[in-house]
């Protein structure tokens, strides 16, 4: 079933909204990728205007930029430490933009949207994990 991002059939008052045209293809949406840790899985998607976009579903690698050395490195992702999108994403290791991930080089913050770019870009940050309160 297609996700539709157009107007609802109901008005804010609860009355029925009457449409003067049918649904359009540009109003369709897609399910989120929910990029996780695992063997590389990505899909090529044709977008509006014939352009291409890679949807990343699983990966173990990340391109990490070190601001002190001014160099980029490819590193392995160990675990997702913190995700501002949802507290439940941390438990299932779902990677989103601004997520803090633990890599072999240290902690890094994701700077791109992996579900739309087909890869993960991150920058090293000084981060100390919070201790659990009991």
pLDDT of residue 128: 87
Which pTM does this prediction carry?
0.83
List the CATH number of the domain containing 85. 3.10.290.70
Residue 21 included in any domain:
no
Per-residue pLDDT reduced to its tens digit, 44-101: 999 999 999 999 999 999 999 999 999 999 999 999 999 999 989 999 999 999 999 9
pLDDT of residue 1: 67
Q: Which element (helix H / strand E) includes 86?
A: none
Residue 109 included in any domain:
yes
What tokens does 35 get?
A: 């990029």
Residue 96 included in any domain:
yes
Report how far residue 133's alpha carbon sits from residue 61's, in angstroms, rounded to the nearest whole number: 32
Residue 45 included in any domain:
yes
pLDDT of residue 11: 96
Per-residue pLDDT reduced to its tens digit, 14-57: 999 999 999 998 888 889 999 999 999 999 999 999 999 999 99
pLDDT of residue 3: 87
Range of the domain at 64: 33-124
């Amino acid at each position: 079933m297609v996700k539709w991002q157009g107007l609802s059939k109901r008005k804010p008052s609860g009355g029925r909204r009457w449409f003067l045209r049918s649904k359009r293809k540009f109003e369709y949406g897609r399910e989120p990728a929910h990029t996780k840790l695992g063997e590389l899985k990505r899909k090529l998607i044709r977008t509006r205007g014939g352009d291409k976009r890679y949807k990343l579903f699983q990966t173990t690698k990340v391109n990490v930029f070190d601001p002190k050395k001014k160099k980029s490195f490819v590193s392995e992702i160990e675990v997702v430490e913190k995700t501002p999108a949802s507290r439940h994403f941390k438990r299932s290791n779902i990677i989103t933009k601004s997520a803090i991930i633990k890599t072999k080089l240290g902690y890094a913050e994701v700077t791109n949207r992996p579900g739309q770019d087909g890869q993960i870009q991150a920058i090293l940050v000084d981060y100390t994990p919070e201790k659990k309160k009991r």
